[in-house]
Amino acid sequence: MSDGGHAWWEDAVVYEVYPRSFADAGGDGVGDLPGLRSRLGYLADLGVDAIWLTPFYPSPLADGGYDVSDYRAVDPRLGTMADFDHLVGDAAARRIRIIVDLVPNHCSSAHPLFRAALAAPPGRPERDLFIFRDGRGPGGGQPPNNWPSQFGGSAWTRVPDGQWYLHLFDTSQPDWNWRHPDVPAMFRDVIRFWLDRGVAGLRVDVAHGLFKDPGLPDVVGVHPLNGPAPYRHRPELHALYQSWRAILDSYPAGGFPGSRTAIGEVWYDAPGTLRPYLATDGLPQVFNFQLILAGWQQAAFRGAIDAALAVASGSRAPWVMGNHDVPRPASRYRLDEGFTPEMIEQLIALGDRNAETGARRARAAALVLLALPGSAYIYQGEELGLPEVTDIPAGARQDPRFRRTGGKSAGRDGCRVPLPWARNGASFGFSGGSGPWGPGYPRESRVSPRASIALTSDGASPSAPWLPQPPEWGKYSVESQLADEHSFLNLYRAALRLRRDHPALGRGTLRWLESGDPGLLCFARDPGFVLAANFGPAPAPLPAHREILLASEPVTAGLLPPDTAAWLSA
């Protein structure tokens, strides 16, 4: 514990950085750690407590870095270990903590231990660190079971000597064998390695995976998405997470970064599935994906919030409405339904329609999210209201889901397009070591038209961003939005400021208020705070209040317009 009797993470606002798309100091078109370091002033100004940094480790990038070839190093394209240490130090100076991504279900096929396993003949101990099996059918020509890869196709790949290895994701991401004692031992060392460097916690990738049913049975019948499966939610996970919790708790909680945390990525079909992960001595936190799954209806939001709160407080299961795996909220809310893997195709078919509605709803949803009890995660660019980029040419797409489905699924690249910092310029300020976004940037006054001139540190023109940015990206840029008092960015900045200062916000509980209007979502938080969000088609009277603290759209005559939320003092 730290920070006055409760752990800092119980009410933290954490900002997810996908480093290749955040800011590029080197000018090669790929974001990097020095780029992130140069924008810490922006994040401090926004008002976040921590950064979740998605993988920055050496990787062939077959899955955006979730194919790790060395768990204890920095990808040279993203920087050096010294850059990482400087990042942690500079962030700490601004009271921002760093959470790193741990990828324990699988590694990259370029990992030296997997290379050694491939080089060894069947039956050799090197293979036991992974899940190698003989195939079924004549000559073992069929995969050992019918498990699907999450990215399409079979979860098995055959090697030249005839055996098959398991990969729940891409062929290039072989699953570790968590029943081999060397695997947990290696990950204990990796966890300590990063905690010793001062990181505040870990985000655990595919935390519901890792252990597989030892019999590797076929899956039978219609399989609910994220439901129980022989490769998901195994009971063995919980002893493992208890052992990780003991490591986290062995670090002193006093001083910065305070108590260390871990947040599991656990996808589930029923929120009750989260319970064992959240045992008192289990993972400190797991993501709560209810708001990603909820459609744009009052009842869906209320149901999602109730379902999550019935299992855990937002302090143990933080709220999130977007990440690097799902279409961006400003586009998702153009539709009324909640997220499904097929949604990206629906959005492509929708073209430009409902853009304004999507953006309005995303602003309102942000005020709902940030008023809920507990901790909240924001994915980079959400604060700019970035839309999903739906027209990335096939040749530029990188997501293995696109490749493995033969292009049937467009995949997740559309929410990973490099951020626009400046109104103009070759990459809208994304690339270039110099410019007004450097250390110390905290204020509008530092923004000048020179922001549009992105040069590398040696004065050369930077390369094109690794994913193409749309021509209209400049209007979403930080520069444009700082100059507009009604922008998304200024809404987020105001909300985070208020959240920090208001005694009712952060940890705690909520009380539903019944307004009699089926479109209005209203809850109270003590002392003296009310959230109202209008999901209905017509303006709705605001609930009793003293003052409007913040609203996602202008509110006049006591009426909350459709697709609008307000924070009220009561």
Catalytic positions, please?
205, 265
* Closest distance of CB 34 from ligand NOJ, Å: 23
* Closest distance of CB 66 from ligand NOJ, Å: 3
CA gap 308, 314 in Å, rounded: 8
CA gap 365, 359 in Å, rounded: 10
What DSSP string runs through 293-319? H--SSHHHHHHHHHHHHHH--TTTS-E
Question: Which CB, 104 or 143, lies closer to ligand NOJ?
Answer: 104
**Does 413 help bind ligand NOJ (rule: CB under 6 A)?**
no
**Does 75 help bind ligand NOJ (rule: CB under 6 A)?**
no
Task: Give the number of residues written for the chain.
Answer: 570
Please report, as a single letter, which amino acid is at residue 569. Answer: S
| Residue partners of 226: CB distance under 8 A and separation at least 6 | 232, 267, 268, 269
CA gap 21, 16 in Å, rounded: 11
Is there a contact between 530 and 570 (Cβ–Cβ < 8 Å)? yes
* Among the listed residues 475, 494, 481, the one whose alpha carbon sits nearest the alpha carbon of residue 566: 494
Number of residues that bind ligand NOJ (CB under 6 A): 10
**Does 24 help bind ligand NOJ (rule: CB under 6 A)?**
no
Question: Which CB, 66 or 211, lies closer to ligand NOJ?
Answer: 66
Question: Which CB, 402 or 421, lies closer to ligand NOJ?
Answer: 402
* Whole-number Cα distances in Å, 33 to 7, 85, 143, 238, 410: 27, 10, 41, 33, 28
Is there a contact between 24 and 431 (Cβ–Cβ < 8 Å)? yes
Q: Which residue is nearest to ligand NOJ (CB)?
A: 66
Question: Which CB, 39 or 208, lies closer to ligand NOJ?
Answer: 208
CA gap 487, 478 in Å, rounded: 10
**Does 204 help bind ligand NOJ (rule: CB under 6 A)?**
no
Cα–Cα–Cα angle for 65, 66, 68, rounded to 5 degrees: 75
* Closest distance of CB 286 from ligand NOJ, Å: 13
3-state DSSP assignment of residue 253: coil
* Closest distance of CB 53 from ligand NOJ, Å: 13
Positive or negative: CA dihedral 441, 89, 44, 357 = positive
- Applying CB under 6 A, among 325, 479, 517, 563 the residue interacting with ligand NOJ is 325
Is there a contact between 299 and 308 (Cβ–Cβ < 8 Å)? no
**Does 206 help bind ligand NOJ (rule: CB under 6 A)?**
yes
**Does 14 help bind ligand NOJ (rule: CB under 6 A)?**
no
DSSP 406: T
**Does 437 help bind ligand NOJ (rule: CB under 6 A)?**
no
* Whole-number Cα distances in Å, 57 to 74, 101, 102, 184: 5, 10, 10, 19
CA gap 524, 531 in Å, rounded: 6
* Closest distance of CB 119 from ligand NOJ, Å: 25
In which element (H, E) is residue 322 found?
Answer: none
Site for ligand NOJ in 76-115 (CB under 6 A): 103
- Applying CB under 6 A, among 84, 130, 169, 428 the residue interacting with ligand NOJ is 169
Is there a contact between 408 and 489 (Cβ–Cβ < 8 Å)? no
Site for ligand NOJ in 226-265 (CB under 6 A): 265
**Does 370 help bind ligand NOJ (rule: CB under 6 A)?**
no
**Does 45 help bind ligand NOJ (rule: CB under 6 A)?**
no
Question: Which CB, 32 or 63, lies closer to ligand NOJ?
Answer: 63
- Applying CB under 6 A, among 24, 45, 49, 63 the residue interacting with ligand NOJ is 63
* Closest distance of CB 324 from ligand NOJ, Å: 6
* Closest distance of CB 169 from ligand NOJ, Å: 5
- Applying CB under 6 A, among 11, 205, 382, 563 the residue interacting with ligand NOJ is 205
Stretch that binds ligand NOJ, among 33-41, 63-71, 288-296, 384-392 (CB under 6 A): 63-71
* Closest distance of CB 14 from ligand NOJ, Å: 15
**Does 66 help bind ligand NOJ (rule: CB under 6 A)?**
yes
**Does 372 help bind ligand NOJ (rule: CB under 6 A)?**
no
Binding region for ligand NOJ (CB under 6 A): 63-64, 66, 103, 169, 205-206, 265, 324-325
